[in-house]
Amino acid sequence: MYAVTRRLLSLPALLLQSSVSKEAELLVLRHQNAVLRRQVPRVRYEPADRLWLAALSHLIPRRQWRKIFPTTPATLLAWHRKLVAKKWDYSRRRRPGRPPTAAAVKALILRMAAENPRWGHRRIHGELPRLGHKIAASTVWNILNQAGTDPAPRRTGPTWKQFLTAQAEHIVAVDFLHVDTVNLKRLYALIMLEHGSRRARLLGVTANPTGPWAAQAARNFLMDTDTTKLKFLIRDRGGQFTDAFDTVFADAGLRVIKSPPQAPKANAHCERIIGTLRRELLDRVLILNEQHLRRTLTRYLEHYNTVRPHRGIGQLCPSQAETGPSIPIDLAGHHVHRRAILGGLIHEYQIAG
């Protein structure tokens, strides 16, 4: 473009060089240029202005540049050098190498590493193509390493909470609850709790909790329950839990785990439901006899399993933990009914049909 402009301007300049009007016009333009130099200390030019002045400079003798152009010869030469340097400058072109990894992919890799402590960078890399992300295994390694996570499967194992949560659906626990009636007769209730769903069961009520009675209660439970998912039974070292009791569960494929002596925290979930029974029920009602205790516990455990929320399973009741939470509705357009159970000791709330 520079060469073409220079050649096009050379012809009309030769033809009009002897024109009197042109000479007068040039004198006027030179005088205006001198006036502008006195008033404006520095003129800023656009790239198009620099190109035009550089092309015209070829048509004028070098000794007259100072009179005609508002710039010095050094400035014109500097402009030309910049044009040449810009032509051969490749710094703004695309740099070679791999494109940067998207932030969403990095977040997904770190999430997989946190949720699966035993997965190494190659195991995580194997999951990404299935989700539509094809990156190199070395990239996954670098992302984990820069985040301070060991890319190899030698990271710290699961916490106790993670371990117990994974094993909860296979664990049940049993313990005895004692209650004194109005005539100071002590009764015993055998309570079983499923760790996974928090569902509680009443295995029996008796005034004489012997070993044969506990073994028969275990048989009754196994006859009415599907134990294919159960693997462990936790119990304390009470004298009622005899070898016959353990054999009943061992024949069903359960491993009996005995808690250490005088260590109720080793059977914490079952101890917690016993405390709940005392606080919400037994400390607030007088028990008359064995039949009354059985009927009261049965009704409360029905409420416990189908209505009462539990923090350990996301404020759901055990039945909702198995089937899923209810669909949210607009309460402004529905009536909520209250139902009293156990003589108004506990209230249940439900949407009117």
pLDDT at 157: 57
> Which CATH number covers residue 306?
3.30.420.10
Same domain flag for 193 and 290: yes
Q: Is 5 exposed, middle or buried (0-12, 13-18, 19+ CB in 10 A)?
A: middle
Please check whether residue 352 lies inside any domain of the structure: no
Rg for the chain (alpha carbons), in Å? 45
Please check whether residue 212 lies inside any domain of the structure: yes
Same domain flag for 255 and 320: yes
Reduced to 3 states, what is the DSSP secondary structure of residue 345?
A: coil
Q: Which residues of 105-117 are buried (b: 16+ CB within 10 A; e: fewer)?
A: bbebbeebbeeeb
Domain of residue 70, residue span: 2-87
Angle, CA 32 vertex, CA 31 and CA 36 arms, to 5°? 120
Instruction: Read off the pLDDT of residues 5-57 as tens digits, 9 standing for 90 and up.
Output: 555 555 555 555 556 666 666 667 776 777 776 676 666 777 777 777 777 77
* The two structure tokens encoding residue 20: 């009197």
Same domain flag for 41 and 116: no
Please check whether residue 315 lies inside any domain of the structure: yes
Per-residue pLDDT of the chain (353 residues; tens, 9 = 90+): 655 555 555 555 555 555 666 666 666 777 677 777 667 666 677 777 777 777 777 777 777 766 666 666 677 677 777 877 877 777 666 566 667 888 888 888 888 888 887 788 888 888 887 777 788 888 888 888 888 887 776 555 566 566 667 778 888 999 999 999 999 999 999 999 998 888 999 999 999 999 999 999 999 998 888 878 888 999 999 889 999 999 999 999 999 999 888 888 888 889 999 999 999 999 989 999 999 999 999 999 999 998 888 887 778 888 877 777 777 777 677 787 888 888 888 888 887 76
Please check whether residue 151 lies inside any domain of the structure: no
Please check whether residue 96 lies inside any domain of the structure: no
Please name which of 322, 282, 324 lies closest in space to residue 199, comparing C-alpha atoms. Answer: 322
pTM > 0.75: no
Q: Between β-strands 171-180 and 232-235, what pairing exists: parallel, antiparallel or unpaired?
A: parallel
Same domain flag for 247 and 288: yes
Same domain flag for 204 and 278: yes
Identify residue 132 by its one-letter amino acid code. Answer: G
Q: How many domains does the chain have?
A: 3
**What sign does the CA torsion over 97, 103, 109, 113 have?**
positive
Same domain flag for 252 and 312: yes
Instruction: Read off the pLDDT of residues 239-255 as tens digits, 9 standing for 90 and up.
Output: 899 999 999 999 999 99
Please check whether residue 347 lies inside any domain of the structure: no
Same domain flag for 209 and 317: yes
Please check whether residue 337 lies inside any domain of the structure: no
